[in-house]
Amino acid sequence: MCSVYVDGVRVTKFEKSGSDLKSLLVEAGRKALATSKYPEPQAIFIGAMNPEEFTGSGNIATLTADALGLLGIPSIRVETASSSGAAVFSVAYTAVASGIFKNVLVIAGEKMTHLPIAKATRILAEVIEIQEREAGASMPALAAMITQAYMRRHKISHEGMEKVLSTIATKNHFNGSLNPLAQFQKRITLEDYKKSKFVAEPLRLYDCSPITDGAAALILTREKTDIRVVGIGQGTDTLGLRQRDSLTSFMATRIAAKQAYEMAGIGPKDINFAEVHDAFTSFEIINSEDLGFFEEGMGWEAVEDGVTHIDGQFPINPSGGLKSRGHPVGATGLAQVVESVWQMRGEVDPKRQVGKVDRALTHSIGGLGNNNFVIILEKNNDNIKPAQRKSFYTLPIQIPRSADRDDAGIDGKEGILETFTVLHVPPEGFPSPLILGFVQIDGKRRVLARAMFLGKYRLGERVKLERDGNSYFFRKVTFLEKVKYYLRQLVRSEKGFKKSPNSWLK
């Protein structure tokens, strides 16, 4: 297998742009080629999530090759939802590693801001599993429920979580203020954060990455440059959150990280800084744990301690992250690599420079954490002890999964409200606010349901499920149902039955 190196790199300004998608891709591609020793690529690889619906035109691979004046050469588009920018890097990597191409141009981008927000949100929601989508789930709603599940699991109060999330938001906005290509260059204060509206509780507007236009590009080559690609990993997970074992960790990230570390022959401690997928502020915490930078349940404390700040021990998202640099969905995974290369080459504003970087890691999430990538780059100099690399991807870690995935017999069951959110910007056709929650039944099955009534719900409380057509609704259990439940439990324990390990009585 050939070694693969990164040559010229570039991102466009991330912003609400007047240019169309083709022009953004061409701008990034041309500028990357202009800084490269290999300006005549043998193939083009394009990453984009959904140009057809965002722009009304398809055939983006040919369109871009044609517009770049690189007519005739192969051009292929790659897609894995919001990690398409990392996926196209991975595909281009194998094309060079195979020895088939010497130099290839990799471009990724998306054009989104010209659409009404409701339409853009609808298009983005097409990656959500169909039953959860039909129950009213949007990306922020699912992210909010993951955030609440994290709070419940690690016993973090609302005030405590607000402090942590606001710290991430202000940190990333601060970093973005030092990045002239970031969408937002405005620092925000704790007060700004607290004033921003709830999108899906506990997530506010300042917890969510924006809708953005932009593109990134780079040249991958078999010729030795100063930066080598040493690790790539990819993992997938169930589309539906209700079928996952954990709501507080992304298995797909863990698989991808394991592969990338093993391929590079290193561990999390060997990385100097990371660009991670903070589509929502709380994801930055979960990612930092899944990637092995902090132990499970410790990521939020690291944020509080300032470890992930630009001048901390382990900077995360010096670019501003998705939160502040912006999130043109198809572009993001590749823009992270460009930021890493610039940091490694010392080509960013000294105020944003995280110090000397020998190894950088990027992490990109596709969909709601179901198609994730980890990429590791290394400075190609003699001072770095070459790691014990493996030639091949290792097989993924053993996947635990519930065999029982059907919804039979859920109607009328009682269960635990494992996590929920009050969604203030629901999808079209749903009332606002919309309360959505994952209800766990039988200690293993989980279903996404709507609250039958508005009101205050408590994480972990007991609720009853009712079906209406294809949708499930939940309501608080009545006093009588509570009494019945306690009596049943009593009888069971008298009989020596083992309690369900996930029971709220535990």
Q: What residues make contact with its own copies under the rule CB under 8 A?
A: 1, 42-43, 49-50, 52-53, 56-59, 61-63, 65-66, 71-81, 87, 90-91, 94-95, 97-102, 123, 126-130, 234-239, 251-252, 255, 366-367, 370-371, 391-393, 395-397, 399, 401
Rank residues 315 and 366 by Cβ distance to its own copies and give the closer one: 366
Rank residues 122 and 467 by Cβ distance to its own copies and give the closer one: 122
* Shortest distance (Å) from residue 468 CB to its own copies: 22
What are the tokens at 152?
């419940």
Rank residues 204 and 258 by Cβ distance to its own copies and give the closer one: 258
* Shortest distance (Å) from residue 44 CB to its own copies: 8
Which is it for strands 273-275 and 214-221: parallel, antiparallel or unpaired?
unpaired
Residue position matching structure tokens 């981008």: 109
Q: Phi first, then psi: what are they for 490, rounded to 5°?
A: -60, -45
The partner residues of 438 in beta bridges, in order of sequence, read: 419, 448
* Shortest distance (Å) from residue 66 CB to its own copies: 5
Rank residues 72 and 496 by Cβ distance to its own copies and give the closer one: 72
Is residue 70 within 8 A of residue 28, CB to CB? The reply is: no
Q: 421 vs 414, 437, 438, 443, CA distance in Å?
A: 19, 6, 9, 21
What are the tokens at 187?
């620092």
* Shortest distance (Å) from residue 106 CB to its own copies: 13
* Shortest distance (Å) from residue 371 CB to its own copies: 5
For residue 486, the surrounding DSSP H or E stretch is helix 479-494
The C-alpha angle 169, 116, 14, rounded to 5 degrees, equals: 45
- Encoded amino acid at 297, one letter: G
Q: What is the dihedral of CA 31, 277, 252, 285, to 10 degrees?
A: 150
d(CA 336, CA 318): 10
* Shortest distance (Å) from residue 67 CB to its own copies: 9
Query: Helix crossing, 251-264 with 281-290: angle to 10°?
Result: 50
* Shortest distance (Å) from residue 117 CB to its own copies: 18
* Shortest distance (Å) from residue 196 CB to its own copies: 29
d(CA 89, CA 4): 11
The partner residues of 218 in beta bridges, in order of sequence, read: 9, 106
* Shortest distance (Å) from residue 300 CB to its own copies: 27
Rank residues 1 and 454 by Cβ distance to its own copies and give the closer one: 1
* Shortest distance (Å) from residue 252 CB to its own copies: 8
Is residue 360 within 8 A of residue 340, CB to CB? The reply is: yes
Rank residues 17 and 370 by Cβ distance to its own copies and give the closer one: 370
What are the tokens at 302?
């690291």
Phi-psi sector, 366: left (phi>0), alpha (psi -120 to 50), beta: beta
Burial environment of residue 115 by CB neighbours within 10 A (0 to 12, 13 to 18, 19 or more): middle
Rank residues 75 and 225 by Cβ distance to its own copies and give the closer one: 75
Q: For the beta carbon of residue 467, count every other beta carbon within 10 angstroms.
A: 15
SS3 447: strand
* Shortest distance (Å) from residue 256 CB to its own copies: 8
Rank residues 214 and 367 by Cβ distance to its own copies and give the closer one: 367
Assign 3-class secondary structure to 228-287: EEEEEEEEECCCCHHHCCCCCCCHHHHHHHHHHHHHHCCCHHHCCEEECCCCEHHHHHHH
* Shortest distance (Å) from residue 226 CB to its own copies: 23
- Beta-strand ranges (E) seen in 365-492 are 371-379, 414-423, 434-441, 445-451, 462-468, 471-476
Rank residues 313 and 394 by Cβ distance to its own copies and give the closer one: 394
Rank residues 245 and 466 by Cβ distance to its own copies and give the closer one: 245
Rank residues 316 and 448 by Cβ distance to its own copies and give the closer one: 448
Rank residues 286 and 451 by Cβ distance to its own copies and give the closer one: 286
What are the tokens at 291?
């990637």
